[in-house]
Every structure is written in C-alpha cells, then in structure tokens.
C-alpha cells in the first residue's frame, strides 16, 4: 500500500468521506512504497496540469513547492498513542522481572494514562491487545510475588513492598474493566498475541506521512494540499470533472456543519472544483460554497478569522463579483426556491430570462466586514501588525463598494442599504484627506463603471446618508443620521449637526435603541461637543460633553476599552459582550484630549459660577460640573502643589489662577498643555481660549469683588484684562441684563456703578420655601401615580411647571420680549444634556 493511502485511511478515520473511497477504488493495487519517491515529481506535474485553474491559485502553489521536498514524518494519532502505551507496558514488564515494583507501578500508571488519552481511538479499535496481555500477566506476577514474599525470609525494602501492595489493589480494580478481554486472552494466550502481532505490526512500525489534522496554519494546509495532488494526477482529473461537479457540491453542502467534517479537505476540494468549473453558473455555485467554507473554519484562540483565511475569502468574493459583473444574466439572490435534486445540469439563461441562484452576497459582505473588525479588535494597536491589517481596509472597502454597485443593478433595496451602511461606517469618522485617498484607491482597484475617484468627501457622505434616509429601515436610518451628525461635527459644522440632531428627535428615543447605536450616539455627542469647543462655543461644548465625561465611565460609553470594574460588578458574559463591542483603535476618540476639552470648558464656566455663588450657601449648590469641582477641591486640599505635570494639573492650576484674576498665568498654563497639538489648528484654538479666559477672568473678578466697589471705571477694567473697551462694555451689560450683577453702566463717566442689594431674610426664605413646596407637590404626585397607575400620564407636567413658575418667575417675565430667540438656544442646551448611559445593559 502506498503511504499516502495508509495515511489517508488513518487520517480520515473520522471523516470517512466519499472522496477517499473513490480514491481507493481508483488506486491500482500494485502501488508500492517505492512509488512515494516519485511523489514530488508527480507533484510538479500536477501543478503544471492545474495551471489552467486560474491565476489566482498560482501564487499559493508556487511558494509551497519548495516545502514539499522535505518529507515530514508524521505518525497518526493512533500510532503515537499506542506506541506510548506499548513503551510503558514493556518497561513495566521489565520492572516486574527484576522485582522493582516502584518503577513497575509508575509505568503501569503511565500506560493507563496513555490509555485514557487514546480513549477516542480505543472506542473504535478496541483495547490494544498487548495491553490486555500485559495486565493479565501482571496480575499473576503480582500474586506470585506476594506469595513469594510471604514465604521468603528476605524481606523487600519498605517502599518496594508498599508499591507492590498498592499495585495489587490497582490492578484488581483495573482488570475488572477489561474482564472480557482478559478472559479471551486466558482462553488462548498464544494465538491471541500472535493475532495481535499480525494485526498491529504494519501499523505500528511504519512511520507515516499524514496530514497534520489539527494544524491551523495555512501554509501547512497548503503543503498538505500539494501532498494530495499527485495522487489526484492519476485519479482526480477523471473524478472531478464537469459531470460530477454538482454531485460533489451537494456532498459538500450536506457534510457542512456536521461534526466530523474536515473543513480543510472541503475547502481544498472546492478549490479544485473551481479550477474544473468552466461555465459561469458552475463557477458561481462553487464560489458560493467556497466562500462559506472559508467562513466555516474554526476560529482559534485569537478570537478572529486568521488573516490569510480572510484574504482568501476576500479574494473569492471579488472573483465572484467579477463573474457576476461579467455575466449579468446570472443573479444571486436569497429568496430563490432551492433547485431540485437534479441540478447536475448546467443552467444557462434562456431567451433573456436570468438564472437565479440561491445565496446571500450581503451576508458574505457582513461577515467579511465583521471579521475584519474583530481582527482589528484583537490585534495590539501599537504594533505594525495593526497597520498592516488596516491596509486591508481598502480592499474590503472596494468589495463593499463593488457589491453595492451590484445590488444597485439588481435593485435589492435592503441589501443596498446594508452595504451602504457598511460603507458609511468605514468612512464617517475619517477626515477628508483619508476619505478621498480611500475612494481613489478603490477607484483604482475597481472597473471605472463602478467607482469613480471622488474628491468631495462631504458630498459622498451626504449621498450615502440621504440614500439611507430614503430607503433603509429605521435602525439604519438612525445610524446613518448619527454618522452624518458625526461627520458634520468633525468638519466643524456645529449648527448643521446640532439641527440634525434636534430635528431627528433622536435623543428622545435613543434610550430604547440597541447598545451599539447608543454608543454611536455617544460618539456623535462627543464629536459635537468637541466641534463646539473648536468653534469657541464653550457652553455648548460643556453641555454636550457633560453627560459622558461627567460619569467617569467614558471608556465604556464610547466602547473604547474597559474601565476597571468595581466590586466585580460585571459577569464574565457581560464582559465578553462588552469586549465584542469595542471599537477598533483607529476609530477611537482621543480620551485625554476629550478630558482636557471637558475640563477646560468646565473651568471656563465653573470658575465664574463659583465666584458668583460666593459665600452664599444656596448658590454653592448650583454645580455645573461635578468632576471638575471634585478635582479642584482635591487639588486645593493639598498642602504643597508642585509645578503642573499632566493635563489635569495644568487645568487646575489655570482654574486657580483664573479665580484669583491672574489671567495671564491662567492662559500660560492652558497653553502649556501639550495635547492641544492634536487638534487641528491648535494655534487658533489657543488664541480662542486665551480670549475666553480673559473674558471669564473679567466676569470672575466682577463677581468676586463687586461688593468692595461702589463703582469701577470701564477703562480700568479694560486695562486690567487687556480687553477692548467695547467687549468689556458688552460683557458687563450682559451680566447686568442677566441679573448676575446688580449694577448699572454710567455712560457719561464710563463707569460701572454697583448697587449693593442683598435679598432680605424673608425673600430668601420665600425662595427656599418655593423650592420645598415644589418638591412637596412632586412627592404627592408621585405617590398618587403609584397608587393610581392609570393616571400616571396626567399629573406629569404639573410639578415641573409649578417649579419653574415658582423659582423663575421674575426671570421669565423678563425673558418674554427681546430674548425670544435665545430661548431656543437654551432649550437646545437642555435637550443636549440627554446622552445615553447605556454602555451595558
């Protein structure tokens, strides 16, 4: 027998595929061992023969040819195990002979262990006979030894005796398991062993070359592949041909998903089938099966599809699309009734009717994209591997674009929107330059009919989104909207993004959305906040960022890593889910920058606010940013503060300087933060921040020191804070108008005249009481709601309305007239503070 077929047999013990059967039939009996010498030359021949399969295969073959010459000696699992056991048994027998029971015991244990390991094999072949013989003999020897021991005067040493005794026990117990075999053996000891020798000899002794079935490495697989080809040279050319291509396909699709299917074999057969197939119909069928076969490969410990496999899938998918583009009369659709059993004829389009083939391209695209993301999640982002992997994105993107074009041709709305969404998700977070680069690379890869180089990224995003708004399901619409908002925010179009966010009413329903959408929403919110910051709209920036940055769970909310779990709150499953949601590194928003922006804008709002509150205990309660306050408190509690080292220290230092009116120092500290360099146009932002700090310093100064002045010259203020007189006047007027400062501007002498008015005790009490009463009413309403759930809708509006009336009556009256337009803005801010705390559910 040829080694190959020996090997094939022992290897395919589990698979038992028809394939090997066929091969065995076709094999001529007189194949001898010497045949294997020619295997490598045969191999080359075969490679040449299969050259016609298509250029795609050439690469993979040529590089593995060299490997082929080194003959690898690999034994089958069975042989390996049995040899191990046999060794143990023989040394055990040796131990018996020299009366060394300690070693005998050890060997016995080893043999048993080996037996356990080989349990799977034994289930098929039965207990190895040499083992049975050994244990049967062993029992006798032990008995004899014990008797001898009793009678003899010379005692064994203690450990030996002990081992002997325990052996006795063990063997007794052990032999009960193999009672039947032992009996058989006892009946006829001589022939039993002979039989065994006859049967075992050829199997055990011969080293064999077999496929290493458990290897995942693709190069190994290919080597093995080549190992097969020569045999195929004799048989396959006949066997795998036009006629039985469908039969093969059927076999494979039937075997798919079964427990002991060898997926590699299948993929290999399919590859060869592909080479054989020549009509587009055949090719499409084979490719569909082949791509699913690629996805079927087991995922190892890494948690993602291996990159070569992924590339294969990518390649085949491209091939499939090429075929589909070339022959438009074949259409791959999901909802096609399965062809009948006798599909073994080539279907050709007749009189213009397209041929429908069942299959789901969009599922392939989804899977391919998901696997790509998964691999990115699992590769360390700081290695070159990550960058290399990221380079594959262009290929993936082009496949997506290509399939999108294909679906567009077929008018499959659902599939189009799914692929469009995928496309959008690859683009929305990228800056213009990158998008254009990707688009151009894609255009270069694809035929001109499908993709044209696109220079205007915003228009592209806009087109994609508008398409989704019009055609997609509500979930995809939501996601598209969020991506669009993100994109706008990325390009500093704050108002456009904000209006989109508000008009879509996303914030009201986002809580019900799935977690990934919520994460996208959070990302969009953060980007919007950063955008507002870049545009110098500090208040808007702070409100946008507040809900996410203020929680201390930023990482989770943005799916950019797991924060340390306190008290082991998350179960392993939750953690796993969370891990799956993580965004690949290149999509991350820089968290340090985010924190810096958040704290800076908090500082600009909170410091004047704190100054305004002054010593008034009620005012102290009005906190804009809790985390900022906490940090500031912590910072000021320290006895000695060194020079600032990190971003946080800088901001805290700046905040302190600002509250003391030392705006120059504050600006200095803020400008010293290195992370601003990550922002586009860092200089402009620093300049903006400087101006804001000056303004806020002025406000803070007025709040803090108004009680010490009866009037301040505006010129003096302008000089102190290095601001133009006009802006000083505007700031002071604004403060007066907002009733933050009880003062008036004397335009004749250019001074601010400060009034000192303190609310009387009754007034402040009345205010406090109003608040209490509102709470009281609210409590009552809640109780009522609990009691009568059907009325829950009705009273909801009550308490809030009351409260507002009670506390803000004065202000509201004034708001009426000229501030109508600003009301809108305020509402927006309230609305914005509405981000999602989802993260985990």
Q: How far is the CB of 676 from another protein (least distance, A)?
A: 48
DSSP 242-264: TTTHHHHHHHHHHHTT-TT--HH
Write the CB contacts of 554 (distance below 8 Å, at least 6 apart in sequence): 548, 560, 563, 591, 594, 595
Q: Which is nearer to another protein, 449 or 760 (CB)?
A: 760
Q: Which is nearer to another protein, 52 or 775 (CB)?
A: 775
User: Contacting another protein (CB under 8 A), which of 384, 786, 810, 821?
Assistant: 786
Look at strands 743-746 and 330-333 and give their pairing: unpaired
Question: Rounded to an integer, what distance in angstroms lies between the CA atom of residue 318 and that of residue 820?
Answer: 58
Q: Which is nearer to another protein, 298 or 789 (CB)?
A: 789
Judge contact between 400 and 423, C-beta under 8 A.
Answer: yes
Q: Cα–Cα distances in Å, from 623 out to 544, 610, 611, 618, 651? A: 16, 8, 12, 11, 18
Q: How far is the CB of 795 from another protein (least distance, A)?
A: 15
Please identify which residue in the block is written with the tokens 């590089």.
Answer: 63
Q: How far is the CB of 781 from another protein (least distance, A)?
A: 11
Token readout for 299 is 């995922």
Burial code of 447-470, b = ≥16 C-beta within 10 A, e = fewer? Answer: eeebbeebeebeebbeebbebbee
For residue 839, is it left (φ>0), alpha (ψ between -120 and 50) or beta? left
- For residue 744, the SS3 value is strand
User: Contacting another protein (CB under 8 A), which of 387, 434, 475, 783?
Assistant: 783
Write the CB contacts of 818 (distance below 8 Å, at least 6 apart in sequence): none
Q: Does 796 bind another protein (CB under 8 A)?
A: no
Q: How far is the CB of 768 from another protein (least distance, A)?
A: 7
User: Contacting another protein (CB under 8 A), which of 191, 780, 805, 826?
Assistant: 780
Question: Rounded to an integer, what distance in angstroms lies between the CA atom of residue 408 and that of residue 394?
Answer: 21
User: Contacting another protein (CB under 8 A), which of 756, 782, 794, 796?
Assistant: 782
Write the CB contacts of 114 (distance below 8 Å, at least 6 apart in sequence): 81, 84, 85, 88
Q: Which is nearer to another protein, 499 or 771 (CB)?
A: 771
Q: Which is nearer to another protein, 592 or 785 (CB)?
A: 785
DSSP 345-370: S-----TTPPEEEE--HHHHHHHHHH
Q: Which is nearer to another protein, 562 or 783 (CB)?
A: 783
Q: Which is nearer to another protein, 753 or 768 (CB)?
A: 768
Q: Which is nearer to another protein, 786 or 816 (CB)?
A: 786
Token readout for 825 is 């803005």
Residue 381: other Cβ atoms inside 10 A: 15
Question: Rounded to an integer, what distance in angstroms lies between the CA atom of residue 621 and that of residue 186?
Answer: 94
Q: How far is the CB of 778 from another protein (least distance, A)?
A: 10
User: Contacting another protein (CB under 8 A), which of 775, 808, 823, 824?
Assistant: 775
Write the CB contacts of 287 (distance below 8 Å, at least 6 apart in sequence): 274, 316, 319, 320, 323
Q: How far is the CB of 314 from another protein (least distance, A)?
A: 53
Look at strands 355-358 and 751-754 and give their pairing: unpaired
Q: How far is the CB of 800 from another protein (least distance, A)?
A: 18
Q: How many residues bind another protein (CB under 8 A)?
A: 17
Q: Which is nearer to another protein, 433 or 762 (CB)?
A: 762
Binding window for another protein (CB under 8 A); candidates: 49-57, 409-417, 679-687, 773-781: 773-781
Q: How far is the CB of 298 from another protein (least distance, A)?
A: 43
Write the CB contacts of 785 (distance below 8 Å, at least 6 apart in sequence): 791, 792, 795
Write out the binding residues for another protein, residues 372-411 only, by CB under 8 A: none
Q: Which is nearer to another protein, 113 or 772 (CB)?
A: 772
Q: Which is nearer to another protein, 683 or 766 (CB)?
A: 766
Q: Which is nearer to another protein, 783 or 792 (CB)?
A: 783
Going through 129-271 in order, the beta strands assigned E by DSSP cover: none
Question: Rounded to an integer, what distance in angstroms lies between the CA atom of residue 214 and that of residue 194?
Answer: 34
Question: Rounded to an integer, what distance in angstroms lies between the CA atom of residue 637 and that of residue 632?
Answer: 8
Binding window for another protein (CB under 8 A); candidates: 249-257, 464-472, 702-710, 781-789: 781-789
Q: Which is nearer to another protein, 238 or 792 (CB)?
A: 792
Q: How far is the CB of 806 from another protein (least distance, A)?
A: 14
Q: Give the closest residue to 520 by CA, choosing from 587, 458, 578.
A: 587
Per-residue x/- track, 733-772, another protein (CB under 8 A): ---------------------------xxx--xx-xx--x
Q: How far is the CB of 796 from another protein (least distance, A)?
A: 17
Question: Rounded to an integer, what distance in angstroms lies between the CA atom of residue 790 and that of residue 408?
Answer: 50
Q: Which is nearer to another protein, 589 or 784 (CB)?
A: 784
Q: How far is the CB of 760 from another protein (least distance, A)?
A: 6
Q: How far is the CB of 742 from another protein (least distance, A)?
A: 21
Q: How far is the CB of 767 from another protein (least distance, A)?
A: 10
Is the CA virtual torsion 252, 255, 259, 265 positive or negative? negative
Q: Which is nearer to another protein, 200 or 785 (CB)?
A: 785
Q: How far is the CB of 802 from another protein (least distance, A)?
A: 14
Token readout for 205 is 């002794």
Write the CB contacts of 838 (distance below 8 Å, at least 6 apart in sequence): 511, 515, 518, 519, 522, 557
Write out the binding residues for another protein, residues 518-537 only, by CB under 8 A: none
Q: Which is nearer to another protein, 726 or 766 (CB)?
A: 766
Question: Rounded to an integer, what distance in angstroms lies between the CA atom of residue 334 and that of residue 213?
Answer: 34
Q: Which is nearer to another protein, 536 or 795 (CB)?
A: 795
Judge contact between 359 and 334, C-beta under 8 A.
Answer: yes
Token readout for 97 is 């002979």
Q: How far is the CB of 626 from another protein (least distance, A)?
A: 24
Helix (H) or strand (E) segment spanning residue 752: strand 751-754
Q: Which is nearer to another protein, 59 or 775 (CB)?
A: 775
Q: How far is the CB of 772 from another protein (least distance, A)?
A: 5
Binding window for another protein (CB under 8 A); candidates: 244-252, 339-347, 780-788, 805-813: 780-788
User: Contacting another protein (CB under 8 A), which of 144, 348, 773, 801?
Assistant: 773
User: Contacting another protein (CB under 8 A), which of 173, 345, 787, 841?
Assistant: 787
- For residue 753, the SS3 value is strand
Question: Rounded to an integer, what distance in angstroms lies between the CA atom of residue 599 and that of residue 521?
Answer: 21
Token readout for 349 is 């389009």
- End-to-end alpha carbon distance in the chain: 62
Q: How far is the CB of 805 from another protein (least distance, A)?
A: 18
Token readout for 784 is 């009522």
Binding window for another protein (CB under 8 A); candidates: 90-98, 425-433, 531-539, 782-790: 782-790
The Cα angle at residue 826 between residues 824 and 830, in degrees rounded to 5: 115
User: Contacting another protein (CB under 8 A), which of 38, 779, 823, 824?
Assistant: 779
Q: How far is the CB of 765 from another protein (least distance, A)?
A: 4
User: What residue ranges bind another protein (CB under 8 A)?
Assistant: 760-762, 765-766, 768-769, 772-773, 775-776, 779-780, 782-783, 786-787
């Amino acid at each position: 027998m040829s080694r190959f077929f020996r090997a094939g047999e022992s290897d395919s013990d589990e698979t038992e595929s028809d394939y090997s059967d066929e091969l065995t039939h076709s094999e001529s009996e007189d194949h001898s061992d010497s045949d294997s010498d020619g295997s490598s030359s045969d191999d080359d021949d075969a490679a040449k023969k299969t050259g016609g399969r298509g250029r795609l295969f050439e690469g993979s073959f040529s590089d593995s040819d060299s490997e082929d010459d080194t003959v690898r000696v690999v034994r089958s699992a069975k042989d390996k195990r049995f040899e191990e056991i046999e060794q143990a048994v023989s040394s055990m027998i040796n131990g018996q002979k020299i009366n060394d029971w300690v070693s005998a015991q050890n060997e016995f244990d080893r043999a048993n262990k080996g037996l356990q390991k080989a349990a799977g094999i034994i289930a098929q072949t039965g207990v190895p006979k040499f083992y049975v013989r050994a244990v049967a003999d062993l029992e006798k020897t032990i008995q004899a030894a014990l008797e001898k021991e009793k009678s003899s005067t010379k005692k064994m040493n203690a450990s030996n005796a002990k081992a002997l005794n325990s052996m006795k026990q063990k063997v007794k117990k052990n032999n009960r398991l193999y009672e039947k075999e032992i009996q058989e053996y006892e009946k006829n000891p001589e022939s039993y062993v002979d039989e065994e020798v006859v049967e075992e000899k050829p199997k055990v002794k011969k080293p064999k070359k077999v496929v290493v079935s458990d290897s995942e490495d693709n190069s190994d697989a290919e080597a093995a592949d080549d190992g097969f080809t020569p045999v195929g040279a004799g048989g396959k050319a006949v066997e795998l041909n036009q006629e039985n291509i469908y039969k093969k396909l059927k076999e494979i699709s039937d075997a798919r998903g079964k427990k002991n299917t060898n997926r590699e074999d299948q993929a290999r057969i399919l590859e060869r089938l592909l080479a054989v197939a020549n009509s587009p119909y055949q090719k499409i069928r084979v490719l569909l099966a082949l791509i699913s076969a690629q996805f079927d490969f087991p995922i190892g410990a890494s948690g993602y599809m291996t990159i070569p496999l992924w590339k294969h899938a990518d390649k085949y998918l491209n091939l499939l699309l090429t075929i589909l583009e070339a022959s438009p009369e074949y259409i791959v659709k999901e909802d096609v009734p399965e062809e009948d059993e006798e599909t073994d004829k080539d279907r050709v389009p007749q009189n213009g009717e397209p041929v429908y083939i069942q299959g789901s391209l969009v599922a392939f695209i989804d899977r391919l994209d998901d696997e790509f993301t998964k691999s990115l999640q699992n590769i360390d982002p700081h290695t070159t591997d990550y960058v290399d992997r990221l380079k594959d994105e262009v290929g993936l993107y082009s496949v997506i674009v290509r399939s999108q074009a294909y679906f567009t041709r077929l008018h499959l709305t659902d599939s189009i929107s799914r692929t469009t969404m995928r496309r959008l998700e690859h683009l929305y977070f990228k800056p213009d330059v990158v998008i254009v680069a990707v688009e151009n690379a894609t255009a270069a890869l694809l035929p001109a009919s499908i993709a044209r180089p696109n220079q205007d990224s915003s228009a592209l995003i806009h087109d994609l989104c508008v398409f989704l708004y019009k055609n997609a399901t509500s979930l995809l619409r939501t996601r598209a909207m969020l991506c669009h908002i993100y994109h706008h925010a990325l390009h500093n179009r704050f108002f456009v993004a904000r209006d989109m966010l508000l008009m879509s009413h996303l914030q009201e329903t986002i809580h019900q959305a799935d977690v990934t959408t919520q994460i996208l929403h959070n990302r969009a919110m953060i980007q919007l906040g950063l955008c507002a910051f870049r545009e110098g709209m500090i208040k808007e920036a702070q409100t946008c960022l507040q809900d996410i940055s203020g929680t201390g769970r930023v990482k989770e909310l943005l799916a950019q890593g797991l924060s340390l779990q306190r008290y082991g709150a998350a179960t392993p499953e939750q953690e796993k889910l969370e891990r799956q949601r993580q965004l690949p590194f290149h999509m991350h928003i820089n968290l340090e920058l985010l924190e810096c922006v958040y704290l800076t804008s908090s500082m600009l709002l909170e410091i004047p606010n704190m100054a305004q509150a002054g010593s008034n205990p009620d005012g102290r309660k009005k906190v804009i940013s809790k985390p900022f306050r906490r940090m500031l408190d912590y910072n000021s509690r320290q006895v000695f503060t060194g020079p600032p080292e990190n971003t946080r220290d800088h901001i805290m230092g700046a905040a302190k300087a600002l509250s003391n009116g030392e705006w120059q120092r504050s600006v200095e500290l803020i400008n010293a933060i290195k992370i601003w360099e990550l922002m586009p146009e860092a200089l402009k932002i620093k300049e903006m921040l400087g101006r804001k700090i000056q303004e806020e310093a002025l406000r803070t100064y007025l709040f803090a020191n108004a009680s010490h002045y009866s009037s301040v010259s505006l010129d003096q203020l302008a000089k102190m804070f290095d601001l133009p007189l006009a802006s000083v006047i505007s700031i002071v007027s604004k403060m007066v108008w907002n009733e933050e400062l009880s003062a008036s501007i004397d335009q004749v002498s250019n001074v601010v005249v400060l009034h000192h008015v303190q609310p009387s005790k009754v007034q402040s009490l009345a205010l406090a009481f109003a608040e209490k009463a509102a709470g009281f009413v609210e409590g009552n309403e809640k109780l009522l709601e609990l009691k009568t759930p059907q009325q829950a809708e009705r009273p909801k509006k009550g308490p809030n309305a009351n409260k507002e009336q009670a506390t803000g009556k004065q202000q509201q009256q004034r708001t009426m007239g000229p501030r109508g337009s600003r009301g809108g803005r305020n509402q927006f801010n309230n609305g914005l503070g509405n981000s999602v705390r989802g993260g985990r559910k």
